[in-house]
Chain A
Amino acid sequence: AQRVTQPEKLLSVFKGAPVELKCNYSYSGSPELFWYVQYSRQRLQLLLRHISRESIKGFTADLNKGETSFHLKKPFAQEEDSAMYYCALKVGGATNKLIFGTGTLLAVQP
């Protein structure tokens, strides 16, 4: 079955603390994974994609095929990182359909 699991509904950390948002997937093919973010009163937007192996706003995510994970990490959280984060898995080949996890709300306390 194709599935994305984000086990934490809410992650609360203090400013300057490390952050790790967990994402596990189930997919029989070669996975293509994304992190999308939704800041308060803004539209959903792409944060990063595993294929680019990039760091955006200090966030990184490494695809671990052995553990079927794509956790999002940042060494030092900032208050402006507070948002809803969704992990997404591309399925359906050329249709580019996405399966989203249930999301994790990151709250960074001052």
Chain B
Amino acid sequence: NAGVTQTPKFQVLKTGQSMTLQCAQDMNHNSMYWYRQDPGMGLRLIYYSASEGTTDKGEVPNGYNVSRLNKREFSLRLESAAPSQTSVYFCASLLAGVLGGEQFFGPGTRLTVL
């Protein structure tokens, strides 16, 4: 099993460009999450999908959209990138219904917006 995979690993964008970050998991997990990691701020939840067919905003959703394409895939889209979106983005998944359930993380995408 590959676990949680993310593409691309690195990306440089110019202000105003758009892009989609891809995330997939092969663990048959119900729930998926997108976080951003910034120095001194820890991980902050952008969007999540508690189950296939549902998505909801997290702590910092502005400037982002998501799509839960199917049970495996959860993509994050930046419609018009801004320098403030320079960050490392992590996708995670979890098998819901398990007490003390663990979130499994992807390797991250390092995004720079110039």
Residues on A facing B (Cβ under 8 Å): 6, 9, 32, 34, 43-46, 49, 51-52, 86, 94-103
Contacts and interface: CB of A to CB of B under 8 A. Distances in A.
Question: Size band of the B side of the interface?
Answer: 20 to 34
A88 to B, nearest CB: 8
8 contacts: A32-B100, A43-B108, A44-B43, A86-B42, A95-B50, A96-B50, A98-B33, A98-B45
A110 B103 CA distance: 32
Given A51-B100, A99-B59, 4 more contacts: A46-B102, A95-B31, A97-B33, A97-B45
B26 interface: no
A51 B99 CA distance: 8
B89 interface: no
